[in-house]
Amino acid sequence: MNIILFGAPGSGKGTQAKLISKEFGIPQISTGDILREHISRGTELGEVAKTYIDEGKLVPDEIVIALVKERLSLPDCKKGYILDGFPRTIEQAEKLVKFADIDVVVHIDVSINEVERRALTRRICPNCGKIYSIADKYIEDCESCGAKLIQRDDDKLEVVRKRIETYLSQSEPLIEFYKKKKILSTVFSAETPEETYKAVREIVLPFAKK
């Protein structure tokens, strides 16, 4: 089962990717992880990518695509894989077609208001890393270790809005792209990841390989 998980930042697609990975024993692949892995191993592509990252620039598409292509050829992808956060643009999707046979694109649909609401009510414990939502119950201190909860910079409204803008201009056109290819399935992001997963599971199950 070769799957793409697609959705706005904050849609919870990473969590869904983890749940699929766990149940079906196929790897969750993100470009961030591949880049970190190549840089830590000091590969040639990793070294080139690092020069861009060190300068605060985006790693060029050719490099990202070469890394994804190599990753998908590894033995642990034989039974399938989940692409999480790739492709991000039409150009990347067009390149991907040349070396990957995608069974299904699962689009986790969530409203922009909901993404903002979730980010603004998210708090994290700087000590143990536990994540809380203060949407229903307001708390200031971590229930596990007692440390004062903080809001991550990534969850601040202006940062969230900027990420959403980039998503809308660069990535949202992919919905039409995959609709045309008739491999898009949409799931609405539910209140909890477990609830969302019930719907995601129904979609991916037919593609599971024994």
In the set 8, 35, 110, 142, which binds Zn ion (CB under 5 A)?
142
Q: Is 79 a catalytic residue?
A: no
User: What separation in angstroms does the CA of 144 have from each of 56, 132, 136, 141, 148?
Assistant: 36, 11, 18, 9, 11
Q: How far are the Cα atoms of 15, 147, 188 from residue 7, in angstroms, in the given order? A: 12, 32, 10
Asked if 124 touches Zn ion (CB under 5 A), the answer is no
> Active site includes 201?
no
Q: Does 126 interact with Zn ion (rule: CB under 5 A)?
A: no
Q: Please select the residue that binds Zn ion; options are 74, 145, 168, 205, rule is CB under 5 A.
A: 145
Asked whether 81 and 3 are in contact (CB, 8 A), the reply is: yes
Q: Which helix (H) or strand (E) holds 184?
A: strand 184-188
- Segment interacting with Zn ion (CB under 5 A) among 14-22, 89-97, 126-134, 194-202: 126-134
Of the listed pieces 1-9, 16-24, 64-72, 118-126, which binds Zn ion according to CB under 5 A? Answer: 118-126
Which residue among 121, 127, 170, 186 contacts Zn ion (CB under 5 A)?
A: 127
By CB under 5 A, tell whether 125 contacts Zn ion: yes
Contact between 24 and 80 under an 8 Å Cβ cutoff? The reply is yes
Nearest-approach distance from CB 153 to Zn ion, in angstroms: 19
Measured from the CB atom, the residue of 13 and 123 that comes closer to Zn ion is 123
Smallest separation (angstroms) from Zn ion to the CB of 14: 21
- 144/103 Cα distance (integer angstroms): 41
CB 11 within 8 A of CB 110: yes
Contact 190, 196 (CB under 8 A): yes
Where on the chain is the footprint of Zn ion (CB under 5 A)? 125, 127-128, 130, 142, 144-145, 147
